[in-house]
Structure 1
Amino acid sequence: MANNHNRLSLYLSLTLLIGLLPEPIVAQTTSNLKSLKSCNNDNIQLSEISVDNLVNKLLTISNWMTNPEMGLANLITTLGEQTIVAANTIPNPWPTIHERARLGKVPVMMYHDILPKKKVSFDVTVKQFEKHLELIQESGVTPISLDQLIQHLRTGEALPEKPIVMTFDDGYIGHYEIVYPLLKKYNYPAVFSVYTDKIEGKIVGRSTLTWSQLQEMAKNSLVTIASHSVTHPKDLTKLSDRELQAEILKSKQILEKKLGIKINYFTYPEGKYDERVSAWVKVAGYEAALTMENNKNIFSNESKSLLAIDRFGQSGLKKAIAKTFGGLQLPPWKFGFDFTGQIIKNKITLQGIPLILISGGKPITIHADSRYQVKDIVAKNEAIAGVDGVFFSLEKLDSNKVIGPIFSQNTKKFVPGDNYDNNKLKNRPLVLISDDQVNFIPFNPENHNTIKGIKAEMPNVTDAFVGAAFLVINYQPQPPESFGELFKFNEPRHRAFWGIHRSGQPIIGVSYKRIGSVKLAQLLAQVGFRDAVMLDSGASTSLVYEGKSLVRYTPRPVPHVVALVSPKSASKSTCVVAQY
């Protein structure tokens, strides 16, 4: 009776805990079950692995209901992972920009008047503007709203692969007669910054919008209205505090009263501001402010803060399109592993360190019969990308002997390591790969130097090797003491690495600049690695994508590669055997 009472208490606790979960976590868990698909084949259907995963998850839920002790433990574990991930997406203290957002390059384009014939240098003709929109569409660029950009800058959340923000200053009639209809045609969002004295007819000269036109535009979800002050002073920094209060606060009040909407953004006239001016913007209750620098095109992610978001002049559109990048194109958090994603190359710079990351696909290893360039090894397989793998013997140039035990699916042969090397590798990361999962566990020379010992850890193992060092374990960067006696582990070198992202997708990569292992671990954790290990680095560091080497030097030939194959290739067969 007492046992039943305890089980009931645990069941109710589990139910209550689920009820207390934030909706996004519950919704995401549910959507993960609903979205299990095959390896991106043309006909969308559940693959055998997906069906197995679905059945396993349903069985797990069933077991939770009948064994609430196990369910509660599993849920707490899951919540622990979710909490770690959620912590990485908590907005930075306003108005700072999130470190992960610094990975992106989102241009904010600045336009002024759009009219049939240019009157001044920064005007754009109707034909030119139409060509700009066509170029944006043809280049696969996605215009986003200012709200989306601010969310990205605050939390580091990824945007569409090639985003852009379009802004139009000063409230010209062409914004209503030309720009607004074209935006509706293309379904592109945009920001219109207006100064109120012009709309009210107190400042005459160039053409102007009317309140009725602006009210119509403001009702459309594609349109964001921003304050551009009351009178458009040439330099706000020259104004007194009383004058700043009138320009910044009063313009917001007028726009909100006339348009019946909240005005969240301010645009500095001629881009001029200082700490005192931005302090008034903050006091007024704006969430962000746009600026600009003459003859400079600066990506929004490089801005000083949300109160000084930089922009591109309209003449810089081609550069903006060529360089735009919305951050790592990976889904957020996911249970287990995802070996069905498109293989994508990202080049990012974090804290001054350029990293090249290739994500997606299915991970495999290739143990060659000698030492070759990674490019040559990858070329003889259906792999899309590859990085140099395990440490190897330098005794003979044509030897494929590696340090520690190795098992690769291309040879289907387990090769044990020698005892001398194995003892030095104790507690280094033993990497175990199967068709649907990857494990990183501490290497034990006594248990892991036979195929039987390897299969005891992962019965369906297809690949195994010992990496150089753990960099990230369960989202946490590893401290200096964890590297043990690894030779010069914190000396600046080009570094190679691979692991599993929080999305469940594999990532291989290299540092494009010399870096110590501890700093690299911190950067990879910041990027969102769930687990990561270092591979052979220094002179061996090599990364290949679609047949091209991505390093600027000729690396040392190697006998072993960690590669990514496309989901379609992986669905056809376990692996295409390399021939040499």
Structure 2
Amino acid sequence: MVVRHFCGTIGALSLGLGIAAPLSASAQPPVCPKPPSTATESGEHSEHSSEHSSEHSNVLLAVRDWMIFPEIAVSEILQNMGETFIAQAEVAPWPAIHERSRRMRVPILMYHDILAEKEVFFDVTPEELEAHFQAIRELGVTPISLDRVVEHLQTGRPLPPKPVVLTFDDGYVGHYEYVYPLLQEYNFPAVFSVFPGKVNGDVVGRSTLTWEQLHEMKDDPLITIAAHSVTHPPDLRELPDSQLQREILESKHVLERELDISIRYFTYPEGKYDARVSAWVMAAGYDAALTMNDEEDRYSGESLSLMAIDRIGQSSIDIALEEAWGGEQRQRRRRIGSRGFDFNASIDKQEVEIDGIPLVLISGGKPITIHADSRYQVPEILEGTEAIAAVDGGFFNMEFLDSNHMIGPVFSQSTGEFIPGDGQNQKLRTRPLVLIGETSVKFIPFDPDKHNTLDGIQAEMPDVTDAFVGAAMLVKDDRPQPTESFGTLFDFDATRHRAFWGIDRDGKPVIGVSAAPVDSVWLGEILAEAGLRDAVMLDSGASTSLAYRGESLVGYVPRPVPHVVALLPPEADAASRCVVATTDGEPITVDW
């Protein structure tokens, strides 16, 4: 069921607008942000006014804004709400599309006439249609209902691994004679877009469904009936308001009256609409509308809004079925695993791509930090140590090019020295304090009043060997972190190369970088899907750097850094002495 969250509602649209009948409460359109006032307006109008005349004025002003100022319709409404807000909401404000849904590839296939002998190029024979259905089954694609994909577009919830929606336009008799039996045989749901003027015989053309056939089909749970206007005009945008109103409202009214069902969806004839047309569709009480684009095939998640859900012509079925992806819940399956830690696994490097973002991940071994005496490239910091891999670590003061001064407290077994933070500590409050011990890791909110001494961090972890303050939690307890968790962190929502480290669901340490620019919120979702149960963002942007066995794994020369998170091989003997850093050219060794 579509959930409509918007800034308000208005009453019947019949007031002074020539609409034949008032709309029901369920058909009330949103009162959305108004454009700048015209010269004839003055003052503010409250939708909560106790004056009846003021309420009517608000109704008229709101409707006028939708009809006279189409630029405030769907596209501007979505822009005003903001993509970040939509991405983090459990349900996107109607008719917006949830940002998570935009990362998935859910094709809605569009068919027209199905008949034994083609008359135009986009006709399909029954044999071709059955071949399409066989391909859907053989490729493991799952046809889903329009109800389900609309719910997905509003919530971002995952769908089956390879989903598709089947739609058939214009109400041809072949839809009953050929399509409907095949849908029953394969148990596939589908949408039939019908314009009642054709069923009634008022519009003469090709074959048509009858009301009796539609009655039989509408009782089948596989079938969804959508309104397709009354007479199927070639371009709704060219109609005056009175005729446009009839095509949109009366098609819903007639279908609901004749079939005794609720008509929730509208299909634009020939896919043509604009802000004025979509505003009338919203006002009529439709939950969503289907369109098409002759120039470009688009997946449903690429649509402007629920009032303009894109479809793909059936001639592109091969690539649509191949690319279909519903964001299946791989993450949820991975959550079953150890909640402890494993510092004895071998160190492995892998390159993966999730949602179009390539990642380089190195996992295994024992995590440590190295606080160098100056700034170096990460491979240089690893020279002379037993560390197999490292990623750039915490933030540092860039006032002096050769300074190793960190922002926030730092404790590294490479030096054995705890260095407290300075006056910038208060700005780091609640940022993740990373504590690494002999057999475990903790990520806790940094409290400058408690954690700026060695005693303070030892109170949190008695066997702590390394500590520093990270940028932000990307994943916490298997959950990607929402926008609000990043607070005032600079550029967290910008697309940049990012560095991170954390613990996967098997308890192994993981370090890595994004090989393409990505914002922090999206990166958290990707890392959760990649199997990390906790992940911290490190210094990123120009500092983003990752090294493995002495080689840099980034395709650019990053900014030199003084601090890294490194992975030691598990075979390092606990009693051995290991060189892990240099200061003033002299090696420092520590006992394990």
TM superposition score category, shorter chain reference: 0.5 to 0.7
Aligned residue number for residue 337 of structure 2 = 339
Aligned residue number for residue 210 of structure 2 = 210
Shift of 1:225: 0.4
Q: Give CA-to-partner distance per residue, 1:423-458, whole Å, 9 cap, x none.
A: 5799864266999997556577725999x985668x
Q: Give CA-to-partner distance per residue, 1:256-285, whole Å, 9 cap, x none.
A: 111110000000000111112112111211
Aligned residue number for residue 24 of structure 1 = none
Shift of 1:158: 1.7
Aligned residue number for residue 258 of structure 2 = 258
Distance 2:253 2:513 in 1: 52
Aligned residue number for residue 366 of structure 1 = 365
Equivalent AA in structure 2 for residue 310 of structure 1: D
Shift of 1:237: 0.9
- Once the two structures are superposed, the pairs formed by residues 87-236 of structure 1 within 5 Å of their partners are 88-236=88-236
Shift of 1:560: 7.1
Shift of 1:207: 1.8
Distance 1:162 1:266 in 2: 25
Distance 1:505 1:328 in 2: 24
Distance 1:521 1:150 in 2: 27
SS across alignment from 1:417: coil
Shift of 1:208: 1.5
Shift of 1:469: 2.9
Distance 2:290 2:166 in 1: 12
Counterparts in 2 of 1:158 and 1:491: CA distance versus 1, 3 Å: closer
Aligned residue number for residue 22 of structure 1 = none
CA contact (8 A) 2:270 2:291 kept: yes
Aligned residue number for residue 485 of structure 2 = 477
Counterparts in 2 of 1:491 and 1:311: CA distance versus 1, 3 Å: closer
Moved more, 129-138 or 286-295: 129-138
Identity %: 42
Counterparts in 2 of 1:248 and 1:477: CA distance versus 1, 3 Å: same
- Once the two structures are superposed, the pairs formed by residues 26-37 of structure 1 within 5 Å of their partners are none
- Once the two structures are superposed, the pairs formed by residues 567-578 of structure 1 within 5 Å of their partners are none
Distance 2:351 2:163 in 1: 16
SS across alignment from 1:326: coil
Shift of 1:92: 2.1
Counterparts in 2 of 1:115 and 1:404: CA distance versus 1, 3 Å: closer
CA contact (8 A) 2:110 2:167 kept: yes
Counterparts in 2 of 1:117 and 1:357: CA distance versus 1, 3 Å: farther
Shift of 1:295: 3.3
CA contact (8 A) 1:500 1:532 kept: yes
Q: Give CA-to-partner distance per residue, 1:302-357, whole Å, 9 cap, x none.
A: 111111111111111122123222236356799xx64389x996633xxxxx6357
RMSD: 5.1
Q: Give CA-to-partner distance per residue, 1:104-148, whole Å, 9 cap, x none.
A: 221111111122232101111222212211222222222111111
CA contact (8 A) 2:169 2:194 kept: yes
Aligned residue number for residue 65 of structure 1 = none
Aligned residue number for residue 500 of structure 2 = 497
Distance 2:90 2:117 in 1: 48
CA contact (8 A) 2:497 2:514 kept: yes
The count of aligned residue pairs is 425
Q: TM-score, normalised by structure 2?
A: 0.59
Shift of 1:471: 3.6
Distance 2:494 2:223 in 1: 52
Counterparts in 2 of 1:86 and 1:540: CA distance versus 1, 3 Å: closer
1:534 equivalent in alignment to 2:537: yes
SS across alignment from 2:109: strand
* Unaligned residue ranges in structure 2 (runs of 5+): 1-84, 340-349, 371-376, 395-411, 574-592
Q: TM-score, normalised by structure 1?
A: 0.60
Larger radius of gyration: 2
Shift of 1:210: 1.2
Distance 1:282 1:144 in 2: 24
CA contact (8 A) 1:496 1:541 kept: yes
Equivalent AA in structure 2 for residue 478 of structure 1: F
Equivalent AA in structure 1 for residue 497 of structure 2: H
Counterparts in 2 of 1:112 and 1:521: CA distance versus 1, 3 Å: same
Equivalent AA in structure 2 for residue 198 of structure 1: K
CA contact (8 A) 2:545 2:554 kept: no
Distance 1:396 1:358 in 2: 18
Aligned residue number for residue 516 of structure 2 = 513
Moved more, 281-290 or 426-435: 426-435
Aligned residue number for residue 430 of structure 1 = 434
1:245 equivalent in alignment to 2:250: no
Counterparts in 2 of 1:394 and 1:123: CA distance versus 1, 3 Å: same
Distance 1:316 1:229 in 2: 26
Distance 1:217 1:435 in 2: 63
Considering fraction of residues, name the structure with more helix: 1
* Unaligned residue ranges in structure 1 (runs of 5+): 1-84, 349-353, 372-390, 406-414, 458-462, 545-550, 564-574
Aligned residue number for residue 297 of structure 1 = 297
SS across alignment from 2:365: strand
Distance 1:189 1:555 in 2: 53
Counterparts in 2 of 1:262 and 1:404: CA distance versus 1, 3 Å: closer
CA contact (8 A) 2:105 2:324 kept: yes
Shift of 1:421: 7.8
Counterparts in 2 of 1:239 and 1:88: CA distance versus 1, 3 Å: same
Counterparts in 2 of 1:577 and 1:123: CA distance versus 1, 3 Å: farther
Counterparts in 2 of 1:175 and 1:435: CA distance versus 1, 3 Å: farther
CA contact (8 A) 2:413 2:466 kept: no
Aligned residue number for residue 454 of structure 2 = 446
Counterparts in 2 of 1:532 and 1:172: CA distance versus 1, 3 Å: same
Counterparts in 2 of 1:295 and 1:501: CA distance versus 1, 3 Å: farther
